[in-house]
Amino acid sequence: MASTNSLPGFQMTVNPVFIEKAQELKPLLRETMASPMRISLDGGEWQAAGESIPSLHEGSVLRLDFGHHVTGYVRFSFDTEGSPPDAPALLELSFGEKELELGAQLENYKGNLTASWLQQERIHVDEFPCTIKLPRRYAFRYVEIKILAISPKYQLVLQNVDTRCVSSADILQVKAPDTQDTELCQLDKAGIWTLHECMQDVFEDGPKRDRRMWLGDLYLQAKTNYLTFGNTDLVKRCLYLFAGLRQNEGRVGATLFVRPRLQVDDIYLFDYALFFIFTLYDYYKYTGDEETLQELYATAQRQVEIASERLDEHGLVKDSADWWCFIDWGEGLNKQCSAQAVFILALEKLSWLAEVLGRNEEKQGFFTRMEKAKRAIMRLYDKDKKVFRSGEAGQVSWHSQIWAVLAGVLPEEEARRLLLQLDRLPFKPQTPFMHHFYLEALCKCRFQDKAFAHMKAYWGAMLQEGADTYYESFNPDARDFSPYGAKEIESYCHAWSCTPAYFIRKYCGVAVE
Amino acid sequence: MASTNSLPGFQMTVNPVFIEKAQELKPLLRETMASPMRISLDGGEWQAAGESIPSLHEGSVLRLDFGHHVTGYVRFSFDTEGSPPDAPALLELSFGEKELELGAQLENYKGNLTASWLQQERIHVDEFPCTIKLPRRYAFRYVEIKILAISPKYQLVLQNVDTRCVSSADILQVKAPDTQDTELCQLDKAGIWTLHECMQDVFEDGPKRDRRMWLGDLYLQAKTNYLTFGNTDLVKRCLYLFAGLRQNEGRVGATLFVRPRLQVDDIYLFDYALFFIFTLYDYYKYTGDEETLQELYATAQRQVEIASERLDEHGLVKDSADWWCFIDWGEGLNKQCSAQAVFILALEKLSWLAEVLGRNEEKQGFFTRMEKAKRAIMRLYDKDKKVFRSGEAGQVSWHSQIWAVLAGVLPEEEARRLLLQLDRLPFKPQTPFMHHFYLEALCKCRFQDKAFAHMKAYWGAMLQEGADTYYESFNPDARDFSPYGAKEIESYCHAWSCTPAYFIRKYCGVAVE
């Protein structure tokens, strides 16, 4: 996720006690080695990596396939054939989660995200034999080595490539889901691997890009993590980081940087700030860790107060033309109705958390405000057409209906009928993030079969493309569309897409060993 | 210098005793710091480097001028302005001895030398503030920093750039020449700086390219070094390296690599092998170091024996179509006559060295062979036209006349007349290397004034272009011509061009302090 908006007069306030707690929970990264399984020279057929690799001259293009998605540090060893090397070799190294990323030409890049995210390096090698350890971390399955320039007097021989893969997730902790459905097992596996790759010293949104925490991603990662890796300390660490690095007026930022120093970004998003409450709620439900709840409660509460500043006289979230709320990608999507629903759910969860802490007066206050917010959202309900409308123009979208259903503002039968009508509406979900909430809404309305069918259709279509991790953005009806204007800049292993593993485990359970 | 020929069945034979001696003489590099003196943003006017540098965004091009040629390791410090950096920055860094090298596009490169010699790097910077120490050594006066890609949310601020300059030459050892002629003083200064930059742990041909020893360069570097830096140990080291790393049948190679390991290249050149004798002769003349002469004499002698294998029944060096002898660049230049002259001079010098060592029988043998070689070269002399002709087609060139004069095969008046005719002949010298021998021939024939006038005209024309070091190749009548098909790949600080400092000191002497 990326954008260019910034909170006016942005400043960061650090809570050193929270940061110390977060840093004590910093995980050690587990390391494993990976090697390429297949190779292909100059656009030829893939061959098993055991085959000997021909020597490389100027213009040679060698592709390597590691067989699955890896996140880590790459090391190449080269020697030479022919005369003593009488000039440096200039290599272009590309790393791609998908093959389409390889050999991307900077000059031809048309995307609206910074081209520096392309995983491509040009390096000079002056001395042979050599082992080149690239200092940057890459996320990839495929590697391309292109010889941009080399003396005609000698050839390069690739002797070894390997990757020191890193993750804080322990794959051995993950139990199999209790299902014989091989399709579900595959969907589950890709979800787990997506999450595994994103679990570094924080929950990253994507190991390729942006390589940092976003609260929307964290919310769904944490949910899936409880039922898979069970690494509750990493969730706790991330909650303390978001609470410990606050924006103006105590706002929780949409995203945090952890390198080179802890820093909250200057982006504030209405829904993302409230997802702090959603994430804390889940954390407490799963762990029962009352001490953490006690400490982070004030941060959660503050987000509701800040969000409330956007309410109009009817208690309805005010719309605006800037990028104030995420909900989903999608040109022209209006966020008002969805944001109101997120606000309702935040109040509901905060009310429940207040009760846990014995703050009954506060609990009652939040409950009352939630009731008011629920009444307000009904002002957006078109009673004739039986759809929610959003914004001044009364835009109808899948998003508004889905979030309204999740907020529980309609009687169940009406909610069920609304979900069944979605196919006729414009503004479909663009990202697996929004598809997740669609599944949540279906499950909430006892359409679990429909939810699983949609999961197989939507996430399954990525697997049919050969993916072993889930993408940041995917539209099976417009596979060439990129919200960033360039397929090669997209993240093909993205945290917010990992939730099939959550749904499968939640509804099928795990196998008894 | 570069080519693609290789000695058939090439093998290296190492003399460990010689190599140990050479390694004991390995000099420590002196280090000094240099900083840019002028800066220019986006093609604007140069400004003093003290001015504050505006922050850089995508597409910004910052040029730095260090004010003089430097050879060393560069360090940049960057910080940022604006939002926290939310994406890496991708920079292109170019280093140029001349400004024309900056921003060279690999895609547009049309030269016949490997493009990897272009001093250009693309680097990603992930974390700020940062200090980037580039691991490679560069030779440059100008630096270009181009921001290929950066997030619109932040800007780069260049905080510091400096260069750790390296050379084994001690500039404080150099005495001023005994002249008030400011033009000569400038010519001298650029020669000294050229040599300074090429004096690393061996005498390199050029600090940009090829960054290694070639015997032709070494011969002229050593000559100039005796009258400037006076670092005789470095000459001795290089002689032991050439003698200690031999090709098939004891051949001295044309060039040596010192990194990553000591290695003679597989190029053998008739004249370069004989220049080993020239260099040893000068070394002994300057140092009187009989022990070294004793040890290296056999190597010198062997080069004459190998060269003699090319003689025909008349004692004349056989011509061939391959790259068997260097003499000079120049399309279609025939080398036979010049090579014969080099052979004559090698025999003369070897004969003298044999006498020093009391090997009088050998001395007489070489002298007799020299006399025969002198008679043989006169078969190439066109008595009607009074010019030397070279090769089967009887090519007339400056080179043949110059080398024949140096070999002393004509009576002085005839030699003087020949030199005065040169302007009417085709095939002028292409490189400062060949221009050096032209000056030598002029001085030998008591045309010292003409020699100095030519030095002022030829080497001086480089200074008029703003150079402070001399180029590898220079033709004042065809400044856009490049023997490598690309001006940006040429070396603009090249060892074989440093000899104005030699001529000025030889004929003017040094100032008494």
Q: Do A106 and B152 count as a contact with CB atoms less than 8 A apart?
A: no
Query: At how many degrees (to 10) do helices B398-406 and B432-444 cross?
Result: 50
How far is residue B333's CA from residue B392's CA, in Å, rounded to a whole number? 12
Give the largest Cα separation in chain A, rounded.
Answer: 84
d(CA B298, CA A119): 56
pLDDT tens-place string over residues B310-336:
999 999 999 999 999 999 998 999 999
DSSP annotation of A463 reads H
Mean pLDDT of B63-70: 98
Mean pLDDT value across chain A: 96
In single-letter form, the type of residue at position B209 comes to R
Contact predicate B233/B179, CB 8 Å: no
- Contact, A84 vs A129, CB < 8 A? no
Predicted local confidence at residue B4, as pLDDT: 53
The number of residues making up chain B comes to 513
**What mean pLDDT is predicted for residues B151-164?**
96
Best residue in A1, A78, A86 for a mutation probing chain B (most B CBs within 10 Å) = A86
pLDDT at A54: 85
What's the token pair of residue B261? 């390991």
How much is the pLDDT for A511?
83
Measured in angstroms, the CA of A89 and the nearest CA of chain B are apart by: 6
The pLDDT-based confidence of A451 (bands split at 50, 70, 90) is very high
Whether the Cβ atoms of residue B97 and residue B69 lie closer than 8 Å to each other: yes
Closest B-chain CA to A5: B153
Closest chain A CA to residue B147 = A116
**Helices marked H in B245-390:** 270-287, 290-308, 336-356, 360-377
> Angle of helix B448-464 relative to helix B432-444, nearest 10 degrees?
160
Pairwise CB contact (< 8 Å): A84 & B266: yes
pLDDT digits (tens, 9 = 90+) for A336-382: 999 999 999 999 999 999 999 999 999 999 999 999 999 999 999 99
* Dihedral sign of CA atoms A181, A187, A190, A196 in order: negative
Contact criterion met (CB < 8 Å) for A116 and B128: no
- The fraction of chain B above a pLDDT of 70, given in percent, is 99
Distance of CA B277 to the CA centre of its chain: 18
Q: What is the pLDDT of residue A4?
A: 53
Residues in A closer than 8 angstroms to B260, CB to CB, are 127-128, 130
**CA A276 to CA A346: how far, in whole Å?**
9
Of B10, B87, B114, the CB nearest to A151: B114
Residues of chain A with Cβ-Cβ distance to B127 below 8 Å are: 259-260
Å from A151 to nearest chain B CA? 5
The residue type of B163 is T
Hey, what amino acid is at A430? Q
Listed residue (A513, A503, A508) closest to A224, CA to CA: A503
Which position has the token pair 């924006």? Answer: A247
* B344, B374 Cβ separation under 8 angstroms: yes
Residue B380: which of B335, B423, B416, B417 has the closest Cα? B335
Comparing alpha-carbon positions, the chain A residue that sits nearest to B266 is A83
Once rounded to an integer, what is the mean pLDDT over residues A405-423?
97
- With contacts defined as CB-CB under 8 Å, which chain B residues touch A86? 2, 210, 255, 257, 265
- The A-side interface with B (CB below 8 A) comprises 2, 4, 6, 10, 58, 83-90, 106-107, 113-117, 121-122, 124, 126-128, 130, 136, 148-153, 209-210, 255, 257, 259-260, 263, 265-266
> Would you state the structure tokens that stand for residue B483, as one six-digit string?
């023997």
What is the b/e burial string over A405-437, where b = at least 16 CB atoms within 10 angstroms of the residue's CB? Answer: bbbbbbeeeebbebbeebeeeebbbbbbbbbbb
Return the number of CB contacts < 8 Å for A and B: 109
Does residue B37 surpass a pLDDT of 80? Answer: yes
Give A-chain residues touching B126 at CB under 8 angstroms: 136, 259
When pLDDT is cut at 50, 70 and 90, the band that residue A52 belongs to is confident
CB contacts, 8 Å: A107 with chain B: 107
Q: Please answer yes or no on whether B83 and A6 come within 8 Å at the CB atom.
A: yes
Rg of chain A on CA atoms, in Å: 25
Spell out a b/e string for A221-245, using b for 16 or more CB atoms within 10 Å of the CB, else e: bbbbbbbbbebbebbbbbbbbbbbb
Mean pLDDT of B360-384: 98
Question: Which residues of chain B neighbour A149 with C-beta distances below 8 Å?
Answer: 106, 114-116
Q: In terms of DSSP H, where are the helices of B357-447?
A: 360-377, 398-406, 412-421, 432-444
- What is the C-alpha separation between A336 and A316, in angstroms, rounded? 8
pLDDT, averaged across chain B: 96
Q: What is the DSSP letter of B253?
A: P
* Mutation target among B1, B3, B74, B116 for the A interface, most CBs of A within 10 A: B116
Is the confidence at residue A413, as pLDDT, over 50? Answer: yes
Report angle CA A349, A353, A354 to the nearest 5 degrees. Answer: 115
pTM of the entire predicted model: 0.96
Domains and CATH numbers, chain B: 13-28+168-508 (1.50.10.10), 31-167 (2.60.120.260)
> What residues of B are in the A interface, CB distance below 8 Å?
2, 4, 6, 10, 58, 83-90, 106-107, 113-117, 121-122, 124, 126-128, 130, 136, 148-153, 210, 255, 257, 259-260, 263, 265-266
Which tokens is A200 given?
């570094």
Looking at chain A, the whole-number percentage of residues with pLDDT higher than 70 is 99
* List of chain B residues whose C-beta atoms are within 8 Å of the C-beta of residue A85: 257
Model confidence at A513, pLDDT cuts 50, 70, 90, reads: low
CB nearest A114 (choices: B4, B87, B266)? B87
**Residue B399: what residue type?**
H
A84, A117, A149 ranked by CB distance to B265: nearest: A84
Are A124 and B124 a contacting pair at CB < 8 A?
A: no
- Residues of chain A with Cβ-Cβ distance to B86 below 8 Å are 2, 210, 255, 257, 265
Cβ-defined contact of B84 to A121 (cutoff 8 Å): no
Q: What is the pLDDT of residues B88-126, one digit of tens each?
A: 999 999 999 999 999 888 989 999 999 999 999 999 999
B116 interaction partners in chain A (CB closer than 8 Å): 87-90, 124, 148-151
CB contact under 8 Å between A10 and B83, yes or no, is yes
How confident is the model over A243-266, as a mean pLDDT? 97
Residue whose C-alpha is closest to residue A177's, from A512, A507, A505: A505
- Contacts with B205 (C-beta within 8 Å, 6 or more apart), sequence order: B1, B198, B211, B212, B213, B214, B217, B255, B491, B494, B495, B496
Query: CB distance A116–B6 less than 8 Å?
Result: no
Q: Is the pLDDT of residue B151 over 80?
A: yes
Residue in B with minimal Cα distance to A89:
B116
Residue to substitute from A116, A121, A125, interface B, most B β-carbons within 10 A: A116
> What would the pLDDT profile of A28-44 be if each residue is shown by its tens digit?
999 999 999 999 999 99
- Pairwise CA distance, residues A480 & A486, whole Å: 9
| Alpha-carbon span B304 to B277, nearest angstrom | 9
**A116 and B89: CB-CB below 8 Å?**
yes
Residue B5 pLDDT more than 90?
A: no
Q: How far is CA B73 from the centre of its chain?
A: 21
Cβ neighbours of residue B387 closer than 8 Å, sequence gap 6 or more = B381, B396, B400, B401, B418, B421, B425
From the list A116, A130, A263, the residue facing B90 with the nearest CB is A116
Please name the residues in contact with B443: beta carbons below 8 A apart, sequence gap of 6 or more.
Answer: B451, B503, B507
Kindly determine whether residue A210 and residue B87, on different chains, have CB atoms separated by under 8 Å: yes
Question: Could you tell me which of B278, B52, B29, B268 has the C-alpha nearest to residue B158?
Answer: B52
Distance from CA of A255 to the nearest CA of B (A): 10
* Mean pLDDT, residues B187-211 taken together: 98
Chain centroid to CA A431: 10
Report chain A residues whose CB lies below 8 A from the CB of B206.
none
Strands (E), B83-193: 89-96, 120-125, 130-133, 138-149, 154-167
B114/A88 Cβ within 8 A: yes
Contact B116 A257 (CB under 8 A): no
Contacts of A86 (CB under 8 A, 6+ apart): A151, A153, A154, B2, B210, B255, B257, B265
Of B90, B116, B149, the CB nearest to A124: B116
Report DSSP letters for A155-200, one per residue: EEEEEEEEEEEEES--GGGPPPBS---HHHHHHHHHHHHHHHHHBS
Query: Are the C-beta atoms of residues A14 and A244 closer than 8 Å to each other?
Result: yes
Locate the chain B residue with the closest alpha carbon to A8.
Answer: B83
CA–CA min distance A456, chain B (Å): 34
What number of other Cβ atoms are within 10 A of residue A77's Cβ? 16
Collect all residues of chain B within an 8 Å Cβ-Cβ radius of residue A90.
106, 115-116
| Residue B199, Cβ density class (10 Å: 0-12 exposed, 13-18 middle, ≥19 buried) | buried
Cβ–Cβ of B266/A4 closer than 8 Å? Answer: no
Q: Tell me the pLDDT band of A103, cut-offs 50, 70 and 90.
A: confident
Six-digit token string for B4: 């693609």
In chain A, pLDDT over 90 holds for what percent of residues?
95
What does the CA dihedral A307, A308, A312, A316 come to, rounded to 10 degrees?
70
Partners of A151 on chain B (C-beta within 8 Å) are: 114, 116
B29/B478 Cα distance (integer angstroms): 37
With contact defined as beta carbons under 8 Å apart, do A207 and A198 qualify?
Answer: yes
B460-510 pLDDT per residue, tens: 999 999 999 999 999 999 999 898 999 999 999 999 999 999 999 999 998
Strand partners, A144: A63, A94
Q: Which of B303, B304, B294 is nearest to B356 (CA)?
A: B294
N-to-C CA span, chain A: 39
Q: Are B339 and B325 in contact (CB under 8 A)?
A: yes
**Omega before B16 cis (within 30°)?**
no
Contact B136 A152 (CB under 8 A): no
Q: Which of B343, B359, B345 is nearest to B309 (CA)?
A: B343
On the 0-12 / 13-18 / 19+ scale of CB atoms within 10 A, B261 is exposed
A2 pLDDT tier (thresholds 50, 70, 90):
very low
- The C-alpha of A127 sits at a distance from chain B's nearest C-alpha, in angstroms, of 6
CB contact under 8 A, A117 and B87: yes
Residues 6+ apart with CB under 8 A from B479: B465
Q: pLDDT higher for B284 or A6? A: B284
Query: pLDDT (tens digit, 9 = 90+) per residue, A376-408?
Result: 999 999 999 999 999 999 999 999 999 999 999
Within B313-358, where are the H helices? 336-356
pLDDT at B2: 46
Mean pLDDT in residue range B378-384: 98
